[in-house]
Amino acid sequence: MWITPGTAIRTIGWGRHPFDGITDPWYNPGDVKGSDTHIQQLNEQERYSWIKAPRWRGHAMEVGPLARTLIAYHKGDAATIESVDRMMSALKLPLSGIQSTLGRILWPRARSAMGPSVSCSIFFDRLMTNLKNGDLATANTEKWEPASWPQHCRGIGFTEAPRGALGHWASIRDQKIELYQCVVPTTWNASPRDPKKQIGAYEAALMGTQMAIPDQPLEILRTLHSFDPCLACSTHVLGDDGSELIAVQVR
């Protein structure tokens, strides 16, 4: 993603830490036909993405159910190993076959749905126990009062959402949000190529895809849908005053 010249690269390394992030888009499409407000044809050599290219220790990553399944498998989780081996045996495929559109949908997402259903019953039992014991709190509000905050404070939140791992970085100054950066599942998976020419998970999954009818690329749609993409999570277009700039309806 391009941002204002001179702000994209940090002095240490070649990317910014989210706490140092600056969301100030700067798009220079280069040689185009038409005007800035009525572009008729873009220069295809000046490709652009509104999505960041996050990296972990310099490497592109895939997040989501498939990544969780493979990590659990190689960490030796007995339940995961048994079920994955059983599925791949039934399909007469090697373990590497799970790294596919079918593999991304069939088992990892089914397991991701099954796991929370079991956890919900555990959390519900805990909730009922707390209620019976008179604990009616719905959140930890010890630090909820802004007047108790330091003049300048920063916080990080990580979680493993159904779609994949994500992180939020917030900086607050004088009780107001000074900076808020998100690196969410689709930011990881839909990542464009970086200065090292490393490709993101979407591009890697699509490489070599064979299409039965090239002008009706359903295979490409199936592969991308297997990631459960959410561009609303990775791209935000708002005015300086927080107002919506444009609304697009896709049929």
Domain boundaries, the chain: 65-134, 160-234
Which residues contribute to the annotated binding site for Mg(2+)?
236
Q: What is the pLDDT of residue 7?
A: 42
CB distance 3 to 25 below 8 Å: yes
Q: What is the pLDDT of residue 27?
A: 62
Which residues contribute to the annotated binding site for Fe cation?
233
* Interatomic CA distance for residues 206 and 209, integer angstroms: 5
- The pTM of this model reads 0.76
Which residues contribute to the annotated binding site for Ni(2+)?
230
Q: How buried is 164 (Cβ within 10 angstroms: 0-12 exposed, 13-18 middle, 19+ buried)?
A: buried
Q: What is the pLDDT of residue 203?
A: 93
Q: What is the pLDDT of residue 131?
A: 95
* Interatomic CA distance for residues 120 and 89, integer angstroms: 31
Helix (H, G, I), strand (E, B) or coil at 219: helix
Q: What is the pLDDT of residue 105?
A: 85
Which residues contribute to the annotated binding site?
230, 233, 236
Q: What is the pLDDT of residue 46?
A: 60
Q: What is the pLDDT of residue 39?
A: 74
Sign of CA dihedral 107, 110, 113, 115: negative
Q: What is the pLDDT of residue 216?
A: 87
Q: What is the pLDDT of residue 184?
A: 92
The segments of the chain whose pLDDT lies below 70 read: 1-15, 22-30, 36-37, 44-48, 232-251
- Is the backbone of residue 172 left (phi > 0), alpha (psi -120 to 50) or beta? beta
